[in-house]
Amino acid sequence: MGWTLDLANARKLGMESTASAARSTGGTPSPSLTNVALTPSALSQADLLAQMGTGLLITGMIGSTINPNTGDYSRGANGFWVEKGEITYPVNECTVAGNLKDMLKSITPANDARPHLSTLVPSLLLEGLTLAGD
């Protein structure tokens, strides 16, 4: 276990760089993750939806707000409403909120990561988030 550090941040912290820097076309290098692989489970996305029962299947995220001191998290989302484990209708521009520490403790992964991508992250089930919208 450790930190993801580019050279500049490693120097500031008096630690070793993990050579984990990336940049966008308009920005400076900063710590970033690439080639991420999350360990899958034996569950399919359909299994996670059945386990969820009622909730939101998020397919897109908008913006981001996080309090680094408390871990409180809020973000816009799009997706599909799920009732009794079945997708029922599309949802546009709602808000998803929770606490990152609590969210990270309750992740249940599926087995549907797409192996041709550099980020191998399957569908995830998170419990206890607050949803708001019209």
- CA pair distance 19, 81, nearest whole angstrom: 40
pLDDT band at 133 (very low <50, low <70, confident <90, very high): confident
pLDDT band at 22 (very low <50, low <70, confident <90, very high): confident
Whether the predicted model's global pTM rises above the 0.85 cut: no
Torsion of CA 48, 53, 55, 61, to 10 degrees: 10
What pLDDT is attached to residue 134?
74
What pLDDT is attached to residue 10?
87
What mean pLDDT is predicted for residues 28-55? 89
Contact 82, 100 (CB under 8 A): no
Instruction: Give burial (CB, 10 Å; 0-12/13-18/19+) of 96.
Output: buried
pLDDT band at 87 (very low <50, low <70, confident <90, very high): very high
Q: Nearest to residue 55, comparing CAs of 93, 112, 96, 103?
A: 96
